[in-house]
Structure 1
Amino acid sequence: MRAYLFLMLLAAGTTYLATPLARRFAERSRAMTPVRDRDVHSVPTPRLGGLAMLAGVAVAFVVASRMPFLRDLFTSDNGPWAVLGAAAIVSLLGVADDVWGLDALTKLAGQVLAAGLLAWQGVQLVSLPVGGVTVGSSTFFLVLTVLAVVVAVNAVNFVDGLDGLAAGVTGIGGAAFFVYTYLLTRDASPDDYSNLASLTVAVLVGVCLGFLPHNAHPARIFMGDSGSMLIGLLLASSAIAVTGQVDPAVVSRADLVPAFLPVLLPVAVLMLPLTDLLLAVVRRMLAGQSPFSADRLHLHHRLLDLGHTHRRAVWILYLWTAVVAFGAVSLAFVPLAVALPVWGSALAVTALLTTGPGRLSAARRSGALHVPRR
């Protein structure tokens, strides 16, 4: 645990110190986010924060390769270096998009290239537990791996619409996923619980923590595509790596929930961005628009329309992520009779906090609630 926490802090510190340098580079290269009708920021803002986050990832992985606890991960296979290489590909692709602007097809090709590198070096889905048997061919899982990475990368990009939102949501979800991967590996292999999934997600949480002080409202820099695609890929990589830690051939029906968690938990962690992505694609296609066209109907925009302030909208989305992600993790380690009622109560409270301002505004408009003026 201490090794992972050290790497998390190292990634956070490196990202924090590198972000001002990334901001200056963005200003000189004119990689600035203008103020558009759908945006909530009021002044043009630099958007190359992903470069600082990539620096945090690179430093943490290089140091990890020299640590006795994790050294075997880097010498036994190329998985960790493949993750770092794929992270560099999507982040530099994002830099090109932030500076010059790339079309959607070019970005998709780069994302597929990064996902293909992961799969080629062994970081790929290997099984799905269905009734205690392994389903799917090698080609099927190769395609599924690429699809999972591309979806995660774009889902995080969709949710990056408020100051501190993408970094905070990913950091919270990543923390829940780290707890799961660490406890799972410790139980499965008490003598050596070093693993790629825990390493990757610990570094992911670190870079999010290091970037947040610069990105919290009012943001002095945005992560841009260089950052959102990076953290999406890291989260997908850790989820893909952990699937190899559960053998579906020995899973009984009683253990079906823990067996499915490597597949379901990343979905829970990415619940917010995936929901936003799905709703946006359906909404735009029904309107006869491209799925990649922009609008002001994302979940965070709807919270603002409900009457939430910028900061409160972000904190409510943080809360949703924490409740869903840590609730899903609890299913693996807490009896269902305890976990489900607590999880349900937390979801109900979060829903009330989400809709409260909207009901208050409606009551004021209808005259049902009188608020005296000062």
Structure 2
Amino acid sequence: MKQYLFVVILTATITLVLAWAVWQLSMRYKLYPGIRERDVHKTPTPRLGGVAMYLGIVAAFLASSQHPFFSIFWADPAAVWAILGATTLIVLVGVADDIWDLDWMIKLGAQFAAAGIIAWFGKLQILSLPIGGLTVGSSWMSFVLTVLSIVIVMNAVNFIDGLDGLVAGVALIANGVFFAYSYLLVRDAGATTYFNLASFIAAALIGACIGFLPLNWTPAKLFMGDSGALMLGLLMAVSAIAITGQITPSQLDPDNFGRSQLLGAFIPILLPITIVLLPLLDFGLAIIRRVGAGKSPFSPDRKHLHHRMLDMGHSDRTAVLIFYAWTAIIGLAMLLMYIGTASDWPGEYLLGVGFGVIGAIACLVVTLMPPGPRPAPVTTAQEAS
């Protein structure tokens, strides 16, 4: 665990220093776009914070190559280099979009290319679903399912990037939960070491978000832009595939694993989904809304979930905190349920169910009962996707 803590601290420190440098350079050379009609913020703000997060994560990967505890995923480095290559591609395209506002077809093509690099060259594919011994039928089905999953999560995370600190905080909470899950899942699967690529990626993402939040918290001095949001989505999807999609169903067989036959068999596939449930929900609603209106599914608008919360009367900061609460409650509830089913101890399982139900009710009340009309905006807020 000390090694993972080192990854978090290293990534956070480098990201913070570089984010400050990017902000200073962007302000000096006016590297920021004008205000768009759909934007919430009122002051031109640099959007290149994703570059600092990317460099912090790359530094963590390079440091891990010199650390014997992480040699397990450097023994066959193809997957690591594919991840770094795909991440570099998506960051470059994101930076170009943040500066020149690229056509959505170009961005989507780059997303499919990045996902393809990981699935084809990195050999990181969804080979099985730990649900009753279900395996993917063919290599091509694995490839297609993997690519689609990565692209969907990338866009889902990018779509909620609309308020100060929203994506960075949601990703921080989600990856914290996923780190605990992946660490415990490897242990419960009988691995000889707890060091694995999925937990490492989650730790690096935690560090990047911690390092970036001080400059992104309201009023934000720096936005992560598409380069940061797409990168977060890419790596979150990859970390889930690197562990859940690679474990064979026999390793998690209820007779050997001691889990509940009912919901326990579904938790290893449900938990990676639930930690990005809000972004996926916003993404799905946006696609339905735009296609139903005869528009491109990637045409921007001002009807995302965070926009609706602002229109209901929530302040920018309150809306962000509510998103944090929803993410934490859903993720922690599933994690507690997993711990309970994995240890065959119903206490944690029932605690997870109760925590999720009570927490969801509380969040629903707070979400639907804003304090009053929204005051005139006085702080900088993140751009809408």
TM over 0.5, shorter chain: yes
Query: Corresponding residue for 1:186?
Result: 187
2:326 alignment counterpart: 320
Q: Pick one of 334, 341, 354 that aligns with 2:354.
A: 341
- Work out the CA distance in 1 between the residues paired with 2:240 and 2:283: 19
Q: Give the equivalent residue in structure 2 for 1:367.
A: none
Matched, 1:213 2:218: no
Partner of 2:237: 236
Larger relative contact order, structure 1 or 2 (CA cutoff 8 Å, min sep 6): 2
Give, as a single letter, the amino acid of the residue that structure 1 aligns with 2:330: V
Give the secondary-structure state (helix, strand or coil) at the position aligned to 1:289: coil
The offset of 1:332, in angstroms, is: 0.9
Could you list the per-position Cα deviations for residues 12-67 of structure 1 after superposition, in whole angstroms to 9, with x for gaps in the alignment?
A: 11100001222244446654242233222110110000100011001001001111
Counterpart position of 1:8: 8
Taking the aligned partners of 2:114 and 2:165, their CA distance within structure 1 comes to 26
Unpaired segments ≥5 residues, structure 1? 362-374
Tell me the SS of whatever aligns to 2:337: helix
Q: Is the 8 A contact 1:14 1:56 kept in 2?
A: yes
Deviation at 1:258, TM superposition (A): 4.2
Structure 1 residue aligned with 2:101: 101
Are the structure 2 counterparts of residues 249 and 309 from structure 1 closer, same or farther at C-alpha, using a change threshold of 3 Å? same
Counting only pairs closer than 5 Å after superposition, residues 80-95 of structure 1 correspond to structure 2 as 80-95=80-95
Q: CA deviation at 1:110?
A: 1.1
Q: Would you say the 8 A contact 1:32–1:44 is kept in 2?
A: yes
* 1:365 alignment partner in structure 2: none
Give how far 1:256 is off.
Answer: 6.0
Contact between 2:90 and 2:111, CA under 8 Å: does it hold in 1?
Answer: yes
Map of 1:297 onto structure 2: 303
Which residue type is aligned with residue 285 of structure 1?
V
1:286 CA displacement: 1.4
- C-alpha separation between the residues in 2 aligned to 1:118 and 1:248? 23
Number of residue-to-residue matches in the alignment: 361
Alpha-carbon distance in structure 2 between the residues aligned to 1:80 and 1:261 = 27
Q: Is structure 2 residue 366 aligned with structure 1 residue 353?
A: yes
Of Structure 1 and Structure 2, which has the larger fraction of its residues in helix?
Answer: 1
Across the aligned residues of Structure 1 and Structure 2, the Cα RMSD in angstroms comes to 2.0
What are the Cα deviations for residues 193-251 of structure 1, in whole angstroms up to 9, with x where unaligned? 11000001110111011100000011101100110111111100100001245321452
Deviations along 1:133-173, one digit per CA (max 9) or x if unpaired, are: 42421111100110011111111110000000011111111
For 1:161, the aligned partner's letter is G
TM-score (ref. length: structure 1)? 0.91
Alignment of 1:44-55 (within 5 A): 44-55=44-55
2:337 to 318, 331, 350: 331
What is the deviation of 1:187? 2.8
- 2: CA distance between counterparts of 1:259 and 1:49? 40
Q: What residue number does 2:144 align with?
A: 143
Structure 1 position 159 matched with structure 2 position 160: yes
Match for residue 202 of structure 2? 201
Query: Could you tell me how far apart the structure 2 residues matched to 1:43 and 1:324 are?
Result: 34
Amino acid at match of 2:301: D
CA distance in 2, matches of 1:258, 1:118: 29
> Which structure 2 residue ranges, 5 or more long, are not aligned?
341-345, 374-385
- The one-letter amino acid paired with 2:358 is S
Shift of 1:190: 5.5
Tell me the residue number matched to 1:364: none
| TM-score of the two chains, using structure 2 as the length reference | 0.89
Q: Could you tell me how far 1:90 is from its partner in structure 2?
A: 0.7
